[in-house]
């Protein structure tokens, strides 16, 4: 995306001598995501650039990568994977589409392919913080929590203000039962970005496992104010309410969470919480 932004800036310096140039400028802007109303405008803009055989290989590679991101936003992971593959074919030294394709594989539950792509992204860019975080999440899904913590360690070391790294390590440590270090990680993330819903959800799990049910309910409720359909926060709050003796409110939360995520009870059981 940065490459297209640079191309856009360069093109804007030239006089708009033709409708073709104006059209190209508009497509670059759309492909960069200037219209956030839906993924469709970005797809249209990137497609126009991709289909122009006179465009440079570099620009078309970035356009494929950006269109892949729009397909991910739609939940169309197969189309995204195809586009990221095209970007890689056009520029195999481009780390971003490897990371992005890995993320699409992660969302599809294809963890082996996801790990291979994250490995390659990190090989191409050893300081690629987001790739480390995505690989850590993949390890989480495979229940390889030690490897997940290791990758979060690296991400935080590279970028100490990386909230997703602190939060991810908090969540992983909470699952592992390392509750005090997990609490410290969540507190660090919230010091950087107060009221972050994902981190409040993670800290809610820590408090739940610590038996501090009022604190868990408070954190889950704050997370739900920002994201009312967060299934993990609903389920965690439901468990905390039941443990506090509020079976009516608790069971209502559990039922709402189950409607959003079918395997939520199974997941919490794996976290060591019932």
Q: What percentage of the chain carries pLDDT values higher than 90?
A: 86
CA distance 38 to 111: 28
CATH code of the domain in which 244 resides:
1.25.40.10
Q: Is residue 25 part of a domain?
A: yes
6 pLDDT above the threshold of 50? no
HSE of 145, CA atoms in CB hemisphere, 13 A: 15
How much is the average pLDDT of 17-28? 83
Chosen domain end from 62, 87, 112: 87
Whole-model pTM: value is 0.88
Q: Is residue 147 part of a domain?
A: no
- Identify the three-state secondary structure at position 112: helix
Q: Is residue 30 part of a domain?
A: yes
CATH code of the domain in which 77 resides:
1.25.40
213 pLDDT above the threshold of 80? yes
Q: Quick one: pLDDT at residue 91?
A: 95
Q: How many domains does the chain have?
A: 2
Q: Grade residue 1 by pLDDT with cuts at 50, 70 and 90.
A: very low
**pLDDT by residue (tens digit) across 62-103?**
999 999 999 999 999 999 999 999 999 999 999 999 999 999
CA distance 75 to 69: 10
How much is the average pLDDT of 145-153? 98
Chosen domain end from 36, 71, 87: 87
12 pLDDT above the threshold of 90? no
């Amino acid at each position: 995306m940065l490459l297209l932004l640079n191309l856009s800036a360069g093109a804007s310096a030239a006089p708009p001598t033709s409708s073709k140039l104006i059209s190209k400028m508009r497509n670059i802007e759309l492909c960069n995501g200037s219209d956030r109303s839906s993924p469709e405008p970005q797809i249209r803009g990137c497609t126009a650039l991709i289909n122009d055989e006179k465009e440079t290989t570099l620009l078309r590679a970035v356009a494929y990568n950006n269109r892949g991101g729009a397909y991910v936003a739609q939940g169309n992971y197969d189309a995204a994977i195809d586009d990221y593959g095209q970007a890689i074919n056009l520029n195999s030294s481009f780390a971003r589409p490897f990371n992005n394709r890995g993320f699409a594989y992660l969302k599809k539950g294809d963890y082996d392919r996801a790990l291979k792509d994250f490995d390659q992204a990190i090989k191409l860019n050893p300081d690629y913080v987001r790739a480390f975080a995505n690989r850590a999440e993949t390890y989480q899904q495979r229940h390889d929590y030690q490897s997940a913590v290791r990758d979060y360690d690296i991400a935080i070391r590279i970028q100490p203000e990386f909230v997703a790294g602190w939060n991810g390590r908090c969540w992983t440590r909470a699952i592992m039962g390392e509750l005090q270090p997990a609490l410290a990680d969540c507190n660090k993330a919230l010091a950087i970005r107060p009221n972050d819903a994902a981190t409040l959800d993670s800290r809610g799990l820590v408090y739940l496992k610590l038996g501090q049910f009022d604190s868990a309910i408070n954190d889950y409720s704050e997370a739900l104010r920002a994201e009312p359909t967060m299934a993990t926060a609903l389920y965690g709050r439901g468990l905390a309410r039941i443990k506090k003796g509020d079976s009516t409110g608790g069971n209502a939360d559990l039922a709402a969470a189950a409607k959003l995520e079918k395997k939520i009870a199974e997941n919490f059981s794996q976290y060591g919480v019932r």
